[in-house]
């Protein structure tokens, strides 16, 4: 394997409690031909002092400081311009990379010249808690082509990209996609290059209670619809306000309106995607069918239409028992019996998603 320069881009804002552990995990990588680009986004805590201490320990660290708080998107784009490497690896200042992460990602991109983006599986964890939860995304490009229609399948702080993704393909992080800027980037990349995930966890992703505050929830959902417009344009689908609302309902597996009429509109949308893919394949037919079948049963479970929705669910061509576990059917029946409303809590999603 050749040893091209890798730029590791780490934005920082008020992370004095975590930044030393995070940056140290990059300093101790088995792959050593690195420059570590750290941008202090005008932190008001002790982050700057921690960064100075780290820079004294490793000459590969280059620290830049924003005079004013530019926020994440502008800081990322500034950082991309500062990176000199053939590859840019992203890292958040509160996460922890496994020692072989960079080495394995470089190896993948060196072997696969038609791929410009590679991320990894990851463990989520909470500060002070021993429990680690493995998070698995699709591995292959063909699977990601389907998965990215509905949500991001690329872990942003674990990603490595060719710098040419920005310099030659002209992509960038955009403020119009605030809170989903990475999802928008991967969605656009999907139509001009290839993406993949290494089939092993190589990052510990720190989970905070308020990573996206309740004030940002609606903005995040609205901007997801902006991302969906990218796919609608590429696939020749309608992007009217009503159609984007249906698209979002299917993606989230939660109908915006509790009615059989609306559920049927969601069903028609999913059937349309399957038909388009049969006529002009844009992703793995089997994987798309699997995703939509799972989304269908969850849409029905979250419809709040009671047990009367069960017949509708079971008779649809989207219903396919080969994709379900006994637990899925049990949850469907429980939620329909009690007309349970979908909730965003972690415990609810763990048990009833």
DSSP 340: P
Residue 149: count other Cβ atoms within 10 Å of its Cβ: 27
- What is the average per-residue pLDDT within 41-49? 98
Question: pLDDT per residue over 254-263, tens digit each?
Answer: 999 999 999 9
Question: pLDDT per residue over 105-154, tens digit each?
Answer: 999 999 999 999 999 999 999 998 889 999 999 999 999 999 999 999 99
Longest CA pairwise span in the chain (Å):
67
- What is the average per-residue pLDDT within 24-40? 98
pTM comes to 0.95
Question: pLDDT per residue over 229-280, tens digit each?
Answer: 999 999 999 999 999 999 999 999 999 999 999 999 999 999 999 999 999 9
- Give the CA distances from residue 161 to residues 85, 87, 94, 176, in Å, rounded to whole numbers and listed in that order: 10, 6, 20, 22
Question: pLDDT per residue over 280-294, tens digit each?
Answer: 999 999 999 999 999
Which pLDDT score, from 0 to 100, does residue 218 have? Answer: 73
Instruction: Tell whether the model's pLDDT for residue 216 goes beyond 80.
Output: no
- Beta partners for residue 205, in sequence order: 124
3 state SS of 341: coil
Which pLDDT score, from 0 to 100, does residue 270 have? Answer: 98
Judge whether 135 and 205 are in contact, CB under 8 Å: yes
- Res. 348 pLDDT band, cuts 50 70 90: very low
Which pLDDT score, from 0 to 100, does residue 344 have? Answer: 58
Distance in angstroms (rounded) separating the CA atoms of residues 214 and 173:
23
Which pLDDT score, from 0 to 100, does residue 338 have? Answer: 94
Instruction: Tell whether the model's pLDDT for residue 156 goes beyond 80.
Output: yes
Which pLDDT score, from 0 to 100, does residue 328 have? Answer: 95
Instruction: Tell me the helix, strand and coil percentages in the chain, rounded to 5.
Output: 50, 15, 35
Share of the chain above pLDDT 90, in %: 90
Tokens found for residue 111: 């072997």
Which pLDDT score, from 0 to 100, does residue 349 have? Answer: 54
Which pLDDT score, from 0 to 100, does residue 208 have? Answer: 78
Which pLDDT score, from 0 to 100, does residue 233 have? Answer: 97
- Res. 2 pLDDT band, cuts 50 70 90: confident
Distance in angstroms (rounded) separating the CA atoms of residues 98 and 196:
18
CA 274-352-337 angle, to 5 degrees, is 95
DSSP 163: T
Q: What is the dihedral of CA 331, 333, 339, 344, to 10 degrees?
A: 10
Residue matched to tokens 């591995």: 139
């Amino acid at each position: 394997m050749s040893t091209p320069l890798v730029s590791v881009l780490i934005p920082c804002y008020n992370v004095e409690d975590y930044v030393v552990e995070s940056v140290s995990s990059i300093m101790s990588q088995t792959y050593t031909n690195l420059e570590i680009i750290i941008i202090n986004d005008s932190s008001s805590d002790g982050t700057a002092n921690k960064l100075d201490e780290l820079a004294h320990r490793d000459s590969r660290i280059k620290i830049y400081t924003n005079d004013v708080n530019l926020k994440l998107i502008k800081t990322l784009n500034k950082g991309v311009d500062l990176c000199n490497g053939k590859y840019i690896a992203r890292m958040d200042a509160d996460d922890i990379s496994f020692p072989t992460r960079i080495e394995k990602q470089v190896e993948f991109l060196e072997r696969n010249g038609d791929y410009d983006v590679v991320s990894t599986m990851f463990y989520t964890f909470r500060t002070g808690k021993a429990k680690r939860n493995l998070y698995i995304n699709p591995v292959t490009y063909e699977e990601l082509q389907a998965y990215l229609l509905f949500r991001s399948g690329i872990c942003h702080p674990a990603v490595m990209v060719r710098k040419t993704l920005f310099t030659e393909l002209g992509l960038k992080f955009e403020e119009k996609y605030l809170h989903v800027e990475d999802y928008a980037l991967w969605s656009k990349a999907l139509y001009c290059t290839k993406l993949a995930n290494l089939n092993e966890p190589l990052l510990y992703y720190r989970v905070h209670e308020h990573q996206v505050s309740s004030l940002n929830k609606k903005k995040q959902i609205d901007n997801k619809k902006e991302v969906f417009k990218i796919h609608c344009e590429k696939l020749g689908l309608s992007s009217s306000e009503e159609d984007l609302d249906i698209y979002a309902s299917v993606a989230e597996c939660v109908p915006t309106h509790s009615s059989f009429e609306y559920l049927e509109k969601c069903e028609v949308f999913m059937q349309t995607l399957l038909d388009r893919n049969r006529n002009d394949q844009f992703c793995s037919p089997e994987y798309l069918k699997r995703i939509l079948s799972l989304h269908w049963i969850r849409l029905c479970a979250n419809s709040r239409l009671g047990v009367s929705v069960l017949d509708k669910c079971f008779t649809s061509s989207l219903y396919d028992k080969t994709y379900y576990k006994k637990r899925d059917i049990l949850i469907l029946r429980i939620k329909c019996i009690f007309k349970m409303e979908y909730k965003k809590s972690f415990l609810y999603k763990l048990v009833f998603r």
